[in-house]
A and B are shown apart, each in its own frame.
Chain A
Amino acid sequence: MPKQVPNPNWKDLALGGAVIEPGSAKYNRTGDWRSERPVWTDKRCVGCGVCSIFCPEGCITMIPDKTLDNERGYRPVTDLEYCKGCGICVVECDKRCRVLECIVMEEEKV
Chain B
Amino acid sequence: MGERKGIEVSIAVAESASACDVDCIAAYPITPQTHVVEHLSEIVADGELDAEFIPVESEHGAMSACCGCAAAGARTFTATASQGLALMHEILFIASGLRMPIVMIVANRALSAPINIWNDHSDVMTERDVGWIQLFAENGQEAFDLVIQAFKIGEDKRVLLPVMVHFDGFILSHVVEPIEILSRDEVKSFLPDYEPAQRLDVDNPISMGPVGMPPVYTECKMVTEAAVRGSYGPIVECFDAFGKQFGRRYKPVETYRSEDADVLLVTMGGISETAMSWVDQQRSQGEKVGLVRFRLWRPLPMDDFMQAIKGAKALAVVDRHFSPGGPGGPVAQEIKYMLYNSEQRIPVVEFVAGLGGRDIYFTDFDKMYKRAKDVVQGAPIPPFELIQARGGHYGEV
Q: Which residues of A contact B (CB under 8 A)?
A: 7-10, 13, 15-20, 22
State the 7 A-B residue pairs at the shortest beta-carbon distance, nearest first: A10-B219, A16-B99, A19-B207, A10-B222, A16-B98, A7-B215, A20-B206
The 14 listed contacts between A and B (C-beta, < 8 Å) are A7-B215, A8-B219, A9-B219, A10-B220, A15-B197, A16-B97, A16-B98, A16-B99, A16-B208, A17-B98, A18-B98, A18-B206, A19-B210, A20-B206
Chain B interface residue count, CB cutoff 8 Å, equals 22
Return the contact of B212 from the options A9, A15, A17, A20 (Cβ within 8 A).
Answer: A17
CA distance A15 to B96 in the complex (A): 11
1/0 per position for B68-104, CB-CB distance to A under 8 A? Answer: 0000000000000000000000000000011110000
CA distance A3 to B345 in the complex (A): 56
A7-B215, A18-B198 in contact; A13/B220 too (CB < 8 A)? yes
Residues from chain A with a CB closer than 8 A to the CB of B220 are 10, 13, 17
- Chain B, residue nearest A17 (CB): B220
- Chain A, residue nearest B197 (CB): A15
CA distance A16 to B223 in the complex (A): 9
CA distance A20 to B216 in the complex (A): 16
- Is the beta-carbon distance between B219 and A18 smaller than 8 angstroms? no
- Is the beta-carbon distance between B207 and A15 smaller than 8 angstroms? no
CA distance A16 to B160 in the complex (A): 9
- Chain A, residue nearest B198 (CB): A15
A10-B226, A13-B223 in contact; A18/B216 too (CB < 8 A)? no
Residues from chain B with a CB closer than 8 A to the CB of A7 are 215-216, 219
CA distance A110 to B219 in the complex (A): 33
Question: Residue B205 at the A interface, CB < 8 A?
Answer: yes
CA distance A10 to B220 in the complex (A): 6
Residues from chain B with a CB closer than 8 A to the CB of A9 are 219
Residue from A8, A17, A18, A20 with most neighbouring chain B CB atoms (10 Å): A17
- Is the beta-carbon distance between A19 and B206 smaller than 8 angstroms? yes
Residues from chain A with a CB closer than 8 A to the CB of B208 are 16, 18
Q: How distant is B207 from chain A, measured CB to nearest CB, in Å?
A: 4
CA distance A8 to B212 in the complex (A): 12
Q: How distant is A19 from chain B, measured CB to nearest CB, in Å?
A: 4
CA distance A7 to B226 in the complex (A): 19
- Is the beta-carbon distance between B207 and A13 smaller than 8 angstroms? no
Residues of B180-219 whose CB lies within 8 A of A: 197-198, 205-210, 212, 215-216, 218-219
Residues from chain A with a CB closer than 8 A to the CB of B222 are 10
Residues from chain B with a CB closer than 8 A to the CB of A22 are 205-206
1/0 per position for B221-241, CB-CB distance to A under 8 A? Answer: 011001000000000000000
- Is the beta-carbon distance between B215 and A17 smaller than 8 angstroms? no
- Chain A, residue nearest B221 (CB): A10
Residues from chain B with a CB closer than 8 A to the CB of A10 are 218-220, 222-223, 226
Residue from B215, B218, B219 with most neighbouring chain A CB atoms (10 Å): B219
